[in-house]
Every structure is written in structure tokens, then in C-alpha cells.
Amino acid sequence: MLLVAAVTLVLIADSTDTNPITLASVDMFSPIMAGLTVCLSRDIQLADVGLRRGRLRLLVVAASIALALIGPTLAFAVTTPGVAVDLIN
């Protein structure tokens, strides 16, 4: 499954003339997609593999930490001359 995802990303990068590094963030979703595929195809409960519901407080903490790290970095990138986000070659 992960090999298929990697080949797909390379083909997309080649066909759209996009830098593969730009698409690298998509790779972080590969493990969860592979896990969901296995769980759904083998009739395994998501709770058996560690997914629990009712953890809103932990989700809020995780989102807050991510925003605290991304926010200043994005502000720096937008306001600093010469720093740009190059998404397409």
C-alpha cells in the first residue's frame, strides 16, 4: 500500500511538473490511510488499534501546539523579504 502511495506521488509530481518535496507532506497521511484500509477490509474495530473517542481535550491541546508552532513561522515567512513559499517550480 505504501509503495503504491509513493509511486502515485512520484507520478503526480512528474506529470504536473511539481517539486516532489512539495508533495512530501502528503506522505504523512500514508500510514493512517494504510491502517484504515486494513481495518476496513479485515473487519477490525478501530478501538482495537488504539482509536478512542471522547478525547476532545487532547485534540485541542495537539491543535493548539501545532498552531503555536506554525503561526509564528508563517508570520515570519510572510513578513520577511526574500522568504517565499515556492509550491510550483
Residue-level pLDDT at 78: 74
Show me where the domains of the chain are located: 2-79
The residue to which cell 478501530 is assigned: 46
Instruction: Say how far apart CA 89 and CA 85 lie, in whole Å.
Output: 11
Displacement of CA 69 from its chain's centroid (Å)? 16
| Greatest C-alpha distance within the chain | 53
Output the tens digit of pLDDT for each of the chain's 89 residues.
567 767 777 787 788 877 766 666 666 666 777 677 777 778 888 788 777 776 778 878 888 998 898 888 878 877 888 766 665 55
What pTM does this model have? 0.36
Residue-level pLDDT at 21: 67
